[in-house]
Amino acid sequence: MFDGYEQGPSIKDNTHLRRGQSKYPVISFTAETEFSGKKEEFLSRAENKQKLLWLVSDALRKNCTVVNALGDADVDIVKVAVETSLLHTTTLIGEDTDLLVLLLHYVKPHCKSLNFRSDKTKDDGKVYNINHLQNIIGNEICSQLLFIHAMTGCDTTSRIFSVGKRNAFHKLVKGDTVLRSCANAFTVINQPTEVIDSLGFQAMAVLFGGKCTDSLAKMRYNNFSRKVVSASSFVTPERLPPTESATKLHCRRAYYQVMTWIGKADGMDAMNWGWNLQENRFVPVMSTIKAAPDILLKVIQCNCLNSCKTLRCSCRRNGLPCSSACGPCQVTNCDNPHNKFLPEESDDD
C-alpha cells in the first residue's frame, strides 16, 4: 500500500512543501532510466515521488496485491496490518512515529503477534511488540496517545518548542488528570471549537509546568520576567509558552488530525480547524494576532534590499533577528546571521 500525491489539497501540504525546499526539478523517467543524484532531493518533489510509486506498483503487481491510496495511507496501512495479524504474525516496517501510535490505537486483543520495526539506521532495526506494549500501557492510554502525538507535533501539527513527546507522555502515564481528560475529549466527534479551545489552553498550561487554571498570557509574562533577569543576551520568544491565539489554532489542528486518524473527519472543513487554502494547498494559520503591538514592532525593523548582508541592516547591527515587520528581506532571502531557524524535532524526543 502506497501514499498518493494527486488527491488535491491535503493537511500534509505544508510538510511536503517544507521537505521540498531544495526546489529539485520534476524529472521525466521510465523504469529503464539510470538515476544520478541524491535520493532525498529527488523524492522531495511530490510529482517525482508519485511517478516512482506508479512504476514500483506496476512491477509489484506481478506477484503482490498492491493498493494505491488517494492521499496519506498511514491509517489504511495500519488497518491492513491489524487485519493480517488476525491470521498470522505480522510485522509493519516503517520510520514514521504515526504508524507506531496508530498501531497501538487499532490493535485488537485477539490478534496474533503484531510487531513494528523501525527502519531508522540509528535504531539498529529495533522491533516493538505491539501486543506486549498495549498490555503494559493499557487500552485507555493507547487511545490517548493520539492526542499527545498530535498535540506535541506530527506531520500536520507544529512541535511545541521545549516540550518534548517524552515529557508529555510521562505526564500522561503518571496520571495527569487534565491531560487525560483532554485526551479523551479530543476523541469525541463533533466537538464545538469553543470546547477544543478551552481544553487546549488547559493542556498547554500543564505541558509548560503550570496549572490548568493558569492564564497563558500570565505564564508568558512571568516566564519572560524571570528570563530577562538572568539572561545575558536577547530572550527568544519561542522559549515562552505560546499565545492563546496560537494555542487555539494549534489545538484545532490537533483535533482535526485526531478525527482523521480515527476516521471521523468526514464532513469537517479543515478551514474551520486552523488551516487556510492558498494556491490549492492547505497552510496552517499560525496566529490571528500580531507578534507584538505596532508601537513595539516599529522600534527596530529594517527595510533592506540587499538581504541584510551588511551592518547597514538595523536588525543585524543590534544583534536581533529580522521579524515579520521588516520589509523586502522577509519577501526574498534574508542573510541576517541572528535569524534562528528551529530544527525539526526528532521522533525520539
- What are the sequence ranges of the domains in the chain? 1-72, 74-137, 146-284, 290-349
pLDDT, tens only, 155-168: 899 999 989 899 99
Q: Could you tell me which of 242, 269, 243 has the C-alpha nearest to residue 256?
A: 269
pLDDT computed for residue 132 by the predictor: 93
Give residue for cell 551588511: 310
Give the list of residues 6+ apart from residue 166 with CB closer than 8 angstroms, or none: 348, 349
From residue 157, give the alpha-carbon distance in Å to each of 193, 274, 324: 17, 10, 21
Pairing mode of beta strands 114-118, 127-129: antiparallel
d(CA 28, CA 7): 20
pLDDT computed for residue 322 by the predictor: 85
Q: What mean pLDDT value characterizes the chain?
A: 86
Q: H or E segment at 206?
A: helix 193-207
pLDDT, tens only, 301-339: 888 888 898 888 888 887 788 877 787 887 667 888 888
Give the list of residues 6+ apart from residue 27 with CB closer than 8 angstroms, or none: 42, 45, 48, 51
144 or 17: which leads in pLDDT: 144
305 torsion bin: left (phi>0), alpha (psi -120 to 50), beta (else): alpha
pLDDT computed for residue 189 by the predictor: 96
166 torsion bin: left (phi>0), alpha (psi -120 to 50), beta (else): alpha
- pTM tops 0.85: no
Beta carbons of 108 and 82 less than 8 angstroms apart: yes
Q: In the structure, what pLDDT confidence band is assigned to residue 345 with cuts at 50, 70 and 90?
A: very low
From residue 101, give the alpha-carbon distance in Å to each of 116, 172, 250, 266, 285: 10, 14, 20, 21, 26
Query: Is the pLDDT at 348 greater than 70, yes or no?
Result: no
Q: Is 224 exposed, middle or buried (0-12, 13-18, 19+ CB in 10 A)?
A: middle
pLDDT computed for residue 235 by the predictor: 79
pLDDT computed for residue 288 by the predictor: 86
pLDDT, tens only, 184-240: 999 999 999 999 999 999 999 999 999 999 999 999 999 989 888 887 777 788 889
Please provide the size of the chain in residues: 349
pLDDT, tens only, 180-189: 999 999 999 9
pLDDT computed for residue 68 by the predictor: 81
